[in-house]
């Protein structure tokens, strides 16, 4: 606590304070047309009652836990809090609740149990509600309201905090314009009315009561939050008390304040010291009813606390304009006090006081803005160490690959890599400890998030490095394999190289990160067109070289006009380097197959276009209407059900063809289970069911599916092990791999929202078409196939509706089939659902390459190397870029979430590489035998 040179803390201004926090309450839900329509009582209080209304601006990340911290401590939490949002530890910083408890205030809390975790022993009485069952709209709020009547009658409390979650859940599931929002707002309005009337009736002569209504964050046009769009950061903030003057005159637009200002204001209102790390300003109108002397004193307390915080954080605080302003204001304040004590009580004194007031307000504003700027301090040293290690690992691996030396060197390298990495790792973890310590002790250092991610990235690099070393003998440098290096580069190679470089360079611009999905869509489209050109060339030019076929070609001319024209216009660079190669590998494909193979790039393009309009993502065009929102709106439930059923059916047909009979049956039952799970939680309906009356959590159905997922994966693993132990033919192995893959597909089908099931269908469809019609005809090498899979995996990450913002992570996937929040399964399921696209593509690559082992024995090892390279080069360069851009305006809103995404993705890549290596090991054993 902070005590100014007036030793005694002023007396409280309010007797009882009720804070009603409505999760995801956006400003227009109260001040806009929705507020007028659905919250009549609140609107009346705002317009004519004794109240002050503001718009409080929340800082990103707009996620509940950091927002609660901001509201209660007045400080600005960083991105590290997003990660720990799932499992919040107790808050150790100085905060309002702690101050209130120390001052002997009795606090009661009902609502989101994040509060209970943050403030474990602070509440006299509490009832926490878990916020993770996003599909629950009513129970979460009834759980809070049921206590209300009783507690309002009681007299044994001073501070009542209510945190309502229903609105946030409605936003997540159906968006801000859904018909469910209105009734929920009306419910909230009735609750506010009840509390207000009860507070008024209890009021005694001594001290008035205060009702505070606020939101922790808003919601975007799609109903999610986490980012920094206007809808997400603007929340209403209402102070209602009989102490205020009745609002008169025309209604003005509410003034904009910071969310952190609430902590200081409430501290003053409750007569508590302002918490140490608060960067908030006192909201003056709330204490406007007091005398000038008192008002000046409150402002002085606030300014004193802020300047102390500045002194702790900057050595050159005396040169800070805020500090200078504060000193000037303090001086004129003391002059004013002198005049006041002399008994001078005229109009002049009042005007003078107003002037001092203005000076103070100016000083406070400058102080808190310079403090907010201070927030980002970086641990440059550990960041540099991390970057250097990453680059070093990368370079060594490059040199190794280029030289392609013997096994002895690689053996030494295996021993050497961990040896030089371990001390460095220890060093880094030491730095993380220090920064965390600093965090807790109160100085606002937020480099921890970047540290954690670089740390994880670094760790995984070590893994990848070791894995790569294992199958060192098979690896060739990506584009230097014999086939390509002997001839000129084909268009596909040029595109792959240019695309990779272009994508990596684009990571330096915030807009390109926000809209990264467009980069990937653009690249895969171009890739498809180049593949189409390659296919045309293979099919037509070869025929022309062959005199026997020239007559048939001529006959077909009119019908093929369009296709050959597309060849002409799609050529990106002249040259026919592949001609010789293709001639040698030419197969005589049957007529119909040839046409399908020519049409397949176009079908893939059409699929991608459809998926693109399924989920609008990114930032700039995220608000555009898309097919996904149309489907999820409650009016189109039957369409959604039909689509989900058709998709599940298609998934079955696409997956079953290579499974054993048992897995086929298990798959069918599992997919049925998926549908009944979605029906149970009320997303889809059965045709015979007309009223959706009983909505459950679908625990039984989901667990039923889990059993089949585990069963299928287990059968697949058994086959794999069998093929390893008894060196059976490779068909057993590829069946095993495919079964594991189909198990993962089933899991993804369970976790995906029903409107995203077409993504899964198209994913399987495109994979099948590529495998059957494109690779078979083109005879590409492993590197090209790997890069294609990698790109499609990335594109499918965005097709699912993901983006590089935190807001789009579908947390509800982590609670499928779970009664309550269990940390490890929830994290695993959420990660799987988020990265399902890249994961399924990588796994399919593994299936494909290991089924091609007979043709190219080094394919798996080569593919693994290319995959690791394709994933690690962008990450490594991105880390360097982020380090360089750490003072960028958007570092917290754009670059750090992307870094988190990349960090997690690298972990997943490492797992995939491990799998690849295991498969390759099997094979190498067999070769040695």
Partner 1 sequence: MKEAEIRKLLAANLLSVFSVVLSAVVPAFFWDGFTVLGTHLAWLCICSVCVSTLNIILHLVLKPNLSPKRSSFAHKISRFLKCCIYFFMSCILFHAIIVLYGAPLIESVTETFLFAVLLSAFTTLQCLCMLGPNIQAWIRVFSKNGAMSIWESSLQITTMCSILGAWFGAFPIPLDWDRPWQV
Q: Is 570 in the site for partner 1 (CB under 8 A)?
A: yes
Min CB(21)–partner 1 separation in Å: 24
CA 218, chain centre distance (Å): 16
Q: Which is nearer to partner 1, 349 or 572 (CB)?
A: 572
Q: Is 229 in the site for partner 1 (CB under 8 A)?
A: yes
* Residues in 492-511 at the binding interface with partner 1, rule: CB under 8 A: 509, 511
Neighbours of 404 (CB within 10 A): 15
Alpha-helix residue ranges (DSSP H) falling in 442-488: 448-470, 482-486
Residue 806's contacts (CB-CB under 8 Å, 6 or more residues apart) are 61, 63, 82, 226, 227, 897, 900
Q: Is 573 in the site for partner 1 (CB under 8 A)?
A: yes
Q: Which is nearer to partner 1, 106 or 365 (CB)?
A: 365
Count the residues of the shown chain that bind partner 1, applying the rule CB under 8 A: 49
Interface region with partner 1, contact rule CB under 8 A, candidates 72-80, 565-573, 788-796, 823-831: 565-573
Interface region with partner 1, contact rule CB under 8 A, candidates 165-173, 567-575, 856-864, 907-915: 567-575
Which of 316, 341, 824, 889 touches partner 1 by CB under 8 A? 889
CA distance linking residue 874 with residue 888, whole number of Å: 20
Q: Is 812 in the site for partner 1 (CB under 8 A)?
A: no
DSSP secondary structure string for all residues of 214-262:
E-S----TTS--SS--HHHHEEEEEEE-TTSPPP-SSPPPPEEEETTHH
Q: Beta 234-240 vs 210-214: how paired, if at all?
A: antiparallel
**Residue entry with tokens 């007797």:** 15
Q: Is 565 in the site for partner 1 (CB under 8 A)?
A: yes
CA distance linking residue 610 with residue 756, whole number of Å: 12
Dihedrals phi, psi of 433, to nearest 5 degrees? -55, -45
Min CB(526)–partner 1 separation in Å: 7
Q: Is 765 in the site for partner 1 (CB under 8 A)?
A: no
Residues forming a β-bridge with 7? none
CA distance linking residue 754 with residue 679, whole number of Å: 10
Interface region with partner 1, contact rule CB under 8 A, candidates 287-295, 328-336, 616-624, 823-831: 616-624
Q: Is 255 in the site for partner 1 (CB under 8 A)?
A: no
Residue 3 in tokens:
């005590």
Q: Give the HSE-up count for residue 415: Cα atoms under 13 Å, Cβ half-sphere.
A: 5
* Residues in 892-911 at the binding interface with partner 1, rule: CB under 8 A: 893
Min CB(532)–partner 1 separation in Å: 10
Interface region with partner 1, contact rule CB under 8 A, candidates 170-178, 403-411, 609-617, 918-926: 609-617
DSSP secondary structure string for all residues of 601-652:
HHHHHHHHHHHHTT---SSTTTTS--HHHHHHSGGGHHHHHHHHHHHHHHHH
* Residues in 588-607 at the binding interface with partner 1, rule: CB under 8 A: 605-606
Q: Which is nearer to partner 1, 120 or 561 (CB)?
A: 561
Min CB(535)–partner 1 separation in Å: 14
Q: Is 568 in the site for partner 1 (CB under 8 A)?
A: yes
Interface region with partner 1, contact rule CB under 8 A, candidates 618-626, 691-699, 865-873, 910-918: 618-626
Min CB(511)–partner 1 separation in Å: 5
**Residue entry with tokens 């807009």:** 511
Q: Is 557 in the site for partner 1 (CB under 8 A)?
A: yes
CB 146 within 8 A of CB 140: no
Q: Is 559 in the site for partner 1 (CB under 8 A)?
A: no
Q: Is 230 in the site for partner 1 (CB under 8 A)?
A: yes
Interface region with partner 1, contact rule CB under 8 A, candidates 213-221, 412-420, 512-520, 670-678: 512-520
Q: Is 566 in the site for partner 1 (CB under 8 A)?
A: yes
Interface region with partner 1, contact rule CB under 8 A, candidates 405-413, 524-532, 771-779, 827-835: 524-532
CA distance linking residue 198 with residue 242, whole number of Å: 12
CA distance linking residue 856 with residue 851, whole number of Å: 10
The helix or strand, by DSSP H or E, that contains position 128, with its residue range, turns out to be strand 125-129
Residues forming a β-bridge with 55? 236, 256
Min CB(140)–partner 1 separation in Å: 32
Q: Which is nearer to partner 1, 574 or 927 (CB)?
A: 574
Which of 156, 562, 729, 929 touches partner 1 by CB under 8 A? 562
DSSP secondary structure string for all residues of 42-92:
HHHHHHHSSEEEEEEEPPSS--HHHHHHHHHH-S---THHHHGGGSPPPP-
Q: Is 228 in the site for partner 1 (CB under 8 A)?
A: yes
Q: Write out the residues near partner 1 by the rule CB under 8 A.
A: 228-230, 509, 511-512, 514-515, 518-519, 521-522, 525-526, 529, 537, 540-541, 544, 557, 561-562, 564-577, 579, 605-606, 608-609, 612-613, 618-620, 889-890, 893
């Amino acid at each position: 606590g902070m005590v100014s040179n007036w030793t005694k803390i002023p007396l409280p201004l309010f007797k009882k304070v009720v804070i009603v926090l409505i999760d995801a309450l956006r400003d227009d839900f109260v001040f806009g047309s929705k507020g007028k329509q659905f919250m009549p009582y609140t609107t009346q209080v705002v317009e004519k009652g004794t109240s002050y209304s503001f718009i409080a601006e929340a800082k990103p990340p707009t996620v509940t836990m950091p927002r609660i911290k901001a509201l209660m401590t007045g400080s600005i939490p960083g991105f590290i809090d997003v990660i720990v949002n799932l499992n919040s530890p107790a808050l150790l910083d100085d905060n309002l609740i702690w101050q209130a408890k120390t001052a002997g205030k009795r606090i009661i809390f009902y609502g989101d149990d994040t509060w209970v975790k943050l403030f474990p022993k602070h509440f006299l009485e509490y009832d926490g509600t878990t916020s993770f069952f996003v599909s629950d709209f009513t129970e979460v709020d009834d759980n809070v309201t049921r206590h209300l009547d009783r507690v309002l009658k009681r007299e044994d409390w001073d501070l009542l905090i209510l945190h309502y979650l229903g609105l946030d859940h409605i936003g997540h599931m159906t968006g801000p314009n859904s018909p469910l929002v209105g009734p929920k707002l009306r419910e909230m309005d009735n609750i506010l009315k009840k509390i207000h009337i009860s507070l008024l009736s209890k009021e005694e002569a001594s001290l008035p009561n205060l009702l505070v209504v606020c939101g922790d964050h808003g919601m975007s046009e799609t109903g999610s939050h986490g980012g920094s769009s206007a809808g997400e950061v603007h929340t209403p903030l209402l102070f209602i008390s009989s102490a205020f003057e009745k609002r008169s005159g025309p209604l003005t637009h509410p003034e904009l304040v910071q969310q952190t200002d609430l902590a200081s204001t409430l501290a003053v209102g409750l007569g508590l010291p302002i918490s140490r790390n608060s960067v908030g300003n006192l909201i003056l109108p709330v204490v406007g009813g007091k005398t000038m002397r008192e008002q000046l004193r409150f402002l002085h307390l606030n300014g004193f606390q802020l300047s102390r915080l500045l002194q702790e954080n900057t050595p050159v605080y005396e040169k800070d304009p805020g500090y200078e302003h504060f000193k000037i204001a303090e001086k004129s304040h003391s002059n004013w006090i002198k005049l006041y004590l002399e008994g001078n009580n005229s109009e002049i004194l009042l005007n003078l006081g107003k002037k001092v007031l203005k000076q103070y307000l100016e000083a406070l504003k400058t102080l808190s803005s310079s403090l907010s700027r201070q927030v980002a301090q970086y641990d440059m040293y550990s960041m540099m160490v991390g970057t250097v290690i990453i680059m070093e690992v990368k370079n060594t691996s490059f040199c190794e690959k280029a030289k392609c030396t013997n096994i002895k060197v690689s053996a030494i390298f295996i021993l050497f890599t961990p040896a030089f990495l371990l001390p460095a790792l220890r060093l880094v973890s030491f730095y993380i400890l220090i920064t965390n310590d600093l965090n807790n002790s109160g100085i606002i250092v937020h480099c921890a998030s970047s540290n954690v991610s670089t740390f994880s990235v670094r760790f995984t690099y070590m893994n990848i490095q070791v894995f790569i070393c294992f199958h060192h003998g098979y690896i060739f440098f990506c584009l230097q394999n014999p086939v390509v290096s002997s001839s000129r580069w084909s268009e596909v190679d040029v595109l792959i190289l240019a695309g990779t470089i272009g994508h990596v360079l684009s990571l330096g611009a915030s807009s390109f990160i926000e809209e990264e999905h467009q980069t990937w869509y653009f690249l895969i489209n171009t890739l498809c067109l180049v593949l189409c050109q390659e296919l045309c060339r293979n099919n037509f030019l070869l025929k022309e070289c062959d005199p026997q076929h020239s007559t048939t070609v001529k006959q077909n001319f009119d019908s093929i006009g369009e296709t050959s024209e597309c060849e002409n216009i799609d050529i990106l660079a002249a040259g026919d380097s592949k001609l010789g190669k293709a001639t040698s590998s030419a197969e005589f494909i049957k007529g119909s197959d040839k046409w399908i193979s020519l049409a397949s790039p176009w079908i893939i393009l059409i699929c991608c276009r459809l998926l693109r309009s399924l989920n609008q993502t990114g930032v700039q065009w995220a608000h555009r209407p898309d097919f996904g929102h149309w489907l999820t709106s409650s009016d189109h439930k039957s369409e959604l059900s039909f689509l989900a059923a058709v998709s599940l059916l298609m998934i079955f047909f696409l997956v079953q063809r290579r499974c054993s009979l048992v897995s086929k049956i298990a798959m069918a039952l599992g997919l049925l289970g998926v549908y009944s799970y979605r029906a149970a939680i009320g997303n889809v309906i059965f045709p015979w069911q007309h009223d959706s009356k009983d909505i459950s959590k679908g625990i039984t159905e989901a667990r039923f599916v889990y059993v089949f997922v585990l069963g299928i994966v287990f059968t697949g693993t058994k086959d794999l092990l069998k093929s390893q132990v008894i060196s059976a033919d490779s068909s057993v192995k590829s069946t095993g791999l495919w079964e594991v893959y189909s198990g993962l597909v089933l899991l993804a089908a369970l976790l995906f929202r029903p409107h995203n099931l077409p993504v899964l269908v198209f994913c399987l469809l495109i994979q099948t078409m590529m495998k059957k019609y494109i690779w078979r005809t083109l005879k590409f090498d492993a590197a090209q196939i790997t890069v294609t899979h990698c790109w499609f995996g990335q594109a499918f990450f965005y097709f699912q509706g993901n983006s590089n913002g935190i807001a789009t992570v579908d947390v509800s996937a982590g609670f499928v089939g779970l009664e309550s929040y269990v940390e490890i399964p929830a994290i695993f399921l959420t990660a799987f659902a988020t990265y399902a696209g890249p994961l399924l593509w990588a796994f399919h690559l593994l299936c494909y390459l290991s089924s091609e082992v007979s043709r190219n024995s080094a394919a798996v090892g080569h593919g693994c190397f290319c995959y690791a390279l394709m994933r690690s080069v962008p990450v490594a360069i991105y880390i360097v870029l982020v380090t360089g851009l750490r003072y960028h305006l958007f570092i917290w809103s754009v670059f750090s979430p992307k870094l988190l995404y990349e960090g997690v993705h690298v972990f997943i890549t490492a797992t995939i590489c491990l799998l690849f290596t295991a498969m390759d090991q099997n094979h190498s054993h067999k070769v040695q035998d």
